[in-house]
Each structure stands twice: as C-alpha cells, then as structure tokens.
Amino acid sequence: MKVMVTGGSGFIGSAVCRHLLLDLGLDVVNIDKLTYAATEGATAMLERHPGYSFHKLDIRERGAIQRVMEKEGVDAIMHLAAESHVDRSIDGPGAFIETNILGTYALLQAARSYLDGLPEERRLLFRFHHVSTDEVFGELPLSGGLFTEATPYAPSSPYSASKASSDHLVMAWHHTFGLPVVLSNCSNNYGPFQFPEKLIPLMILNGLEGKPLPVYGTGENVRDWLHVEDHARALALVLTRGRTGQSYNIGGRNERSNLAVVQTIADLLDEARPLPSASRRELITFVGDRPGHDLRYAIDARKAEAELGWKAHYGFDTGLRKTISWYLDNEAWWRPLREARYAGQRLGANG
C-alpha cells in the first residue's frame, strides 16, 4: 500500500509518515509546500528509505498533484496539509481560506480524476482520509459534555471556520461524487517536532531560558491533550479500518486547563533544569485574552475505540515528561527555528 500524505513535513504529518513507513511498512509519498511550520528534520530519518518519496508542492496545484498521484500510483490519500494556528488566523485569515478551503477543493478534484483512471479493483480499495480538528464544534461549558461525531458544527475562529468548510467539502464529495472518504477530528496534539509557537513547546523553551510564560486571560480554558504518536496510530487505523462516509473523533481523555498545563511544565523543568534562584511558576504572566477564545474542548473517542480498536497509550503526565525530555535533548533542532524564524515572544496556542 502506498499512501500520499499531504503536509507530511509538519508536526502531525511527519509523525504519520514515520508511523506508516517505519512501524507499518507502508510506502509514503510526502507532499509538502514547506511553509514556516514545516521542518525537514522531522522526516530526516526517512529520506534514504526506499519506500519514501518527497514532492515540494502546494496542494492548490491540482494538475501537479494529480500527476504525482499517477506517477507514484498511490492507493490512499491522508490530507493533513493545513494552516493551523488560531492566532495567525486572526491576524491573517486569507492564508487559511486559500490553503484549508481552496487547497482541499483542489485535492478533492485531483483525487476524483485520479480515481476515475484506476482499474476497478484499485478503485474499490482507494481511500481519501481528511484530518480535521475538534475546534470545528465550537466550545463546551466547563461544567461538562463531550464532542461526539454527531455534535453540530459551530466554529468560532477563522481557523476553525476554514477547517469546518473543508470537512463539509469532503463529505459533499463523498455523497455527491462517490469519493470514498473517511474523516477524523482530533483534540490538541503535543509531542516531538512541534513548532515552537504552540503552547507546550513555547512554554518549555521560554521556561528553559527563564523568560515569561504568558497565559491568556485567567488560564481557565480547558483542552483535551493527545500525544502525536497516539494520534498517528489512530489515523492509520481510520484510514485502513474506518467505514467510508464516517467521521471518527480522536482524543486523549486528558483534559487540563491551560494554567494547569503551564504550571506542570514549570514544575517538570524545575526538576530537570533548576533555575538559580526561583521557581518557574513565578514566570507565569496573565495577558489579555484572545478574541473569540473557546472555553473548553473535550472529545468522546468511544466510536474510534470500539470500531477501530484504538486507545491512547500516553497519559498526559507521562507524555509531557517524555516531550520535555525530547526538547531538552534536541536543542539542535529547535534552536535554529527559535532564533531564525520565531522570536519566542508571541503567545502559543492556548487552545
């Protein structure tokens, strides 16, 4: 089986490429535009593997994408390429419309044309897996409730609205044109190779350098945290075992407030690399809240667990310790990003 992964050089996409190729023995075709958030180092261990190929392409380039499909003879598409940072979508929503909506449209059309040219036996096995976010569902109250696959969409940021739009396009292409699709919506990911503007790596790196740990509002916003390796395993199961036309929610059952996450990171860094004279909790600073900041996200993953046999391996405390250790051991990866591309002062994804 040969799988095309769009956005395969990004944080989640590279974890998917590594899992498919190294753990499952599948061939991988990585399509990535290599924007600011993509780092080739995340797939460096794959580059000499005979089952791996890379094509630098924008997913909006429909003709070029289709030619790669035909040249490589792909059997499935996992679509992860997306603009994904909420703060950036507020500052500049245009890129999110272009990539997440128009890019998904172009990819769907390329897949349709490619599928039409396949022999019958290969058409029956082909799958288009669209990877999305729990943010399309809006927010939940702190008092309870979970997002299920039947939860109505209620996006509240340009990012989540663009992802909701792409979800609807994918399902429409299934119902109208018969494209064999599966869809998944995940909770907040964390783990190795995450770009330093996101909440957890930003807090780790600021904390290492003794810089402020900025938290939006009062820090009460709650997210369900999912280790990226657990997510990669789930996505492979959605692709290979999921029912076409169905969506699957993927979550870690690890709800934490943003403040609790930052406090835990501060404590773990104090254990690993103590500061000379202070606790890192003293670095926590509360700043003005983000416009339209959703209060709480939480995933009900029972459908994926029951139908696909998937369950998250990492509890949050274990996964966070492992993630902090990775950043401590891989300064050669994150230091150039932090210095050359990102000044370290912008807030991370506090949800």
- Indicate which residue of 27, 32, 87, 134 is catalytic: 134
Cα 335 to Cα 1: distance, rounded to the nearest angstrom: 37
- The closest of 166, 127, 133 to 147, measured between CA atoms, is 133
Q: Is 282 a catalytic residue?
A: no
Q: Is 114 a catalytic residue?
A: no
Q: Is 135 a catalytic residue?
A: yes
| Contact indicator for 18, 45 with CB cutoff of 8 Å | yes
Helices (H), 120-248: 120-125, 158-177, 199-208, 228-241
Cα 102 to Cα 248: distance, rounded to the nearest angstrom: 23
| Contact indicator for 129, 77 with CB cutoff of 8 Å | yes
- Indicate which residue of 52, 105, 114, 159 is catalytic: 159
Angle at 188 between CA 186 and CA 189, to 5 degrees: 95
Amino acid letter at 188? N
Contacts of 179 (CB under 8 A, 6+ apart): 108, 111, 112, 115, 128, 173
- Indicate which residue of 32, 87, 135, 300 is catalytic: 135
- The closest of 7, 20, 154 to 84, measured between CA atoms, is 7
Task: Please give the positions annotated as active site.
Answer: 134-135, 159
